[in-house]
Amino acid sequence: MGRICSTVAIKLGDKGAIAVRAGQHARAPAPAVVVVDTVGAGDSFDAGFLYGWLKGWSLEEALGLGAVCGSLSTRAAGGTAAQPLLEEASRYAGRTSG
């Protein structure tokens, strides 16, 4: 890592996610959900992670939101039917607001 890519986030399915940035390591658990369909879970993870990243959250917080968004999106069929809104995802991620 370094010159080409300074941050890497890796999804681990029901085991959550891990990330590394400039020697800093973070791990986030995935909330337990009844999985119906995993289509779009990666995109939802990316959206949550990037939201936190762009808001200036810590690596742990951004990764946590990504893991929550990816997990919750699997609760219904079709990539977007169960995507959480920020308010719901923030509660799962332990934040009071976005």
Respond yes or no: is residue 43 known to be catalytic.
yes
CA atoms within 13 A on the CB side of 42: 5
Helix (H, G, I), strand (E, B) or coil at 28: strand
The active-site residue out of 14, 37, 43, 46 is 43
Catalytic residues: 43
